Amino acid sequence: MPATPTGRTTDDARTATATGPVPCRVVVCRDCCCGSPKVTGVDHAAQTERLRTAAPVRVSDCLDVCDQANVIVVQPSAEGRAAGARPVWLGLVNDPDATEDVVAWARAGGPGVAPRPDILDLHVFTPPGRRATR
């Protein structure tokens, strides 16, 4: 099974920031439940735009983990993959503070490059059909 989200997506064409290569890529689910009024009190468009300030963002169709809405997957950069990192799935990212933690981690390099902020451990989950990563 692939280690990255599947399904129809749209890519942010940005490949670099003003300071150099993009540290990682972020996938946001914006279909069925994620990105919808079912998750109340979240400005979904603002969340996506805020994430785009830190890394390229791919907007995905339903990732089939609706019980974890809003779902964000942080994919490692080439440097992170070389260090053995795998994509990190984050669920219930429904408040601005959690979004800011994801933004800070992506800016710092993301999986395999920068340590994940401890607070994000509350959001990490392994989606069904995938093996847990360390």
SS (H, E, C) 6-48: CCCEEECCCCEECCEECCEEEEEECCCCCCCCCCCCCCHHHHH
| Within-domain flag for 108 | yes
Look at residue 35 in the predicted model and tell me its pLDDT.
85
Give how many domains the chain has, as a whole number: 1
| Within-domain flag for 132 | no
| Within-domain flag for 64 | yes
Query: What domain range is 73 assigned to?
Result: 29-122
| Within-domain flag for 23 | no
Q: What would the mean pLDDT of 24-36 be, rounded to a whole number?
A: 92
Q: What would the mean pLDDT of 97-106 be, rounded to a whole number?
A: 98
Least confident piece of the model among 4-8, 16-20, 91-95, 127-131: 4-8
What is the rounded average pLDDT for all residues in the chain?
86
| Within-domain flag for 6 | no
Look at residue 74 in the predicted model and tell me its pLDDT.
99
Per DSSP, the residues of 42-101 read: --HHHHHHHHHTTS-EEEES--S-GGGPSPEEEEE-HHHHHTT---EEE----SHHHHHH
Angstrom distance (rounded) from CA 67 to CA 92: 8
| Within-domain flag for 16 | no
